[in-house]
Amino acid sequence: MDNPDLAAIWVYLSTSPLLGLTITLVAYSMAHKLYVYARYNPAFNPVVTSVTGLISILLLTDTSYESYFEGAQFVHFLLGPATVALAIPLYQQISKLKRLWVSVLLSLTAGVAISSLCTVFIARLFGASLQTQLSLAPKSVTAPVAMGISEQIGGLPSLTAAVVVITGILGAVLGPKLFKLMRIQDDSIKGVAMGVSAHGIGTARAFQVSSEMGAFSGLAMALSALASALIVPWLLSAIGILQ
Amino acid sequence: MDFLNGITLLLIYQLVGEVSVLMLPIPIPGPVLGMVLLFLTLLAHGRSTASLESASTALLSHLSLLFVPAGVGLIVHFERIAQEWIAISLALVLSTGITMATVAAMMHIATRYLSGKT
């Protein structure tokens, strides 16, 4: 950057939201091409490759996350309407849902409780600090909701956002293998398990399998977000982690 | 025009959700309430519309992209993660696997007994 004109352009770009937004979209579209090229090999999950790429770029150019987020927030913002949009695939599965709703409610309530308790206990067992334990507790819940819960119970919302993404990727990668191992073939069952444990990233993976699996995953993700917001803070104070 | 009408409706429901959560003592996030309200509206209305379907397909088919900015947020927590990475990774991997297996097993058993399905 010793050319003064280039330096001036860089200063302009690094303070405008345009750059952060554009590199996010470019990184994702390249990551998605790579994923298709790798024949949907889970190791090339586009969220992993684009996040890795973007972090490297930020580190190399010495850009702060705050200035990157100035632009990336426009993408992040869409999580809100996307959450509302889940009502539509859910509605399209209404006849199947009417038949299965008792099973779905039972399984996802158990799932929400087990997910947060297991996470906190394992993290505590291996010596994580209390604040880390609390930030990890809502890790299976969709990002905007998980961040809200984390803030409410005294975790770090931004750490929660990051572990939520990692959890989603883990679920999307492990899920299909686990279901094969358990010999589960029903797409509605796979969808619910995916949505409860791996929220939107799992749901995105589920939509690649079938629209039925996607709809149930979306349903389970939405209902477990609701259930987690109600249960998790209460559960953690019941077992004495929160005073 | 379909897409625009659809996204507008989604934003209106989100807005109603966010405002209700602020005004009422409901401990759930606004977008989730918005989703519940939209779902109830669709139930009452009896059918979905082309504009809602076009907007929801557009948003949901690129759902992974929407998580990228939050994922890059990892950069802020490098230090904490460097110190506690063993506990964090074990907690994430094990509990994700356990949760997924439990929910799948419970769904499998519950649908068999409750819905008379084989």
User: What ipTM score was computed for the predicted complex, to two decimals?
Assistant: 0.87
B37-57 residue pLDDT tens: 999 999 999 888 899 999 998
Domain range enclosing A64: 4-77
Q: What is the pLDDT of residue A162?
A: 85
Tokens 């952060």 belong to residue: A20
Q: What is the pLDDT of residue B116?
A: 55
Looking at residues A82-103, what average pLDDT do you find?
85
Q: What percent of chain A has pLDDT over 70?
A: 98
Q: Do the domain assignments include residue A33?
A: yes
Q: Do the domain assignments include residue A201?
A: yes
Q: Which of B63, B76, B108 to mutate to test the interface with A (most CBs of A within 10 A)?
A: B63
Q: What is the pLDDT of residue A134?
A: 95
Q: Chain A contact for B17, CB < 8 A?
A: yes
Q: What is the pLDDT of residue A2?
A: 56
Tell me: do A8 and A96 sit in the same domain.
no
From the list A85, A170, A178, the residue facing B101 with the nearest CB is A178
Q: What is the pLDDT of residue B117?
A: 47
CA distance A2 to A120: 50
From the list B28, B63, B97, the residue facing A229 with the nearest CB is B28
From the list B29, B55, B102, the residue facing A85 with the nearest CB is B55
A180-221 residue pLDDT tens: 999 999 999 999 999 999 988 898 889 888 888 988 998 898
The answer, as to whether pTM is greater than 0.90, is no
B1-30 residue pLDDT tens: 788 999 999 999 999 999 998 998 777 778
B72-115 residue pLDDT tens: 988 988 888 899 999 999 999 999 999 999 999 999 999 888 76
Tell me: do A69 and A102 sit in the same domain.
no
Whole-number average pLDDT of chain A: 89
DSSP labels for B3-41?
HHHHHHHHHHHHHHHHHHHHHS---S-HHHHHHHHHHHH
Rg, chain B, Cα only: 20
What is residue A14's three-state secondary structure?
Answer: helix
Check CB contact under 8 Å for A72 and B48: no
Which domain-ending residue is among A77, A105, A134? A77
Q: Which residue has the higher pLDDT, A157 or B102?
A: B102
Q: What is the pLDDT of residue B118?
A: 45
Q: What is the pLDDT of residue B61?
A: 82
Tell me: do A140 and A160 sit in the same domain.
yes
Q: Do the domain assignments include residue A243?
A: no
Tell me: do A152 and A135 sit in the same domain.
yes
Two tokens at A68? 């990157």
Tell me: do A51 and A21 sit in the same domain.
yes
CA distance A206 to A228: 21
Q: What is the pLDDT of residue A4?
A: 64
Q: What is the pLDDT of residue A204?
A: 85
Which domain-ending residue is among A77, A111, A133? A77
Tell me: do A140 and A190 sit in the same domain.
yes
Tell me: do A124 and A187 sit in the same domain.
yes
Sign of CA dihedral B37, B38, B39, B45: positive
Looking at residues B50-77, what average pLDDT do you find?
88
Tell me: do A204 and A89 sit in the same domain.
yes
pLDDT greater than 80 at residue A13: no
Q: What is the pLDDT of residue A187?
A: 93
Q: What is the pLDDT of residue A90?
A: 80
CA distance A170 to A223: 21
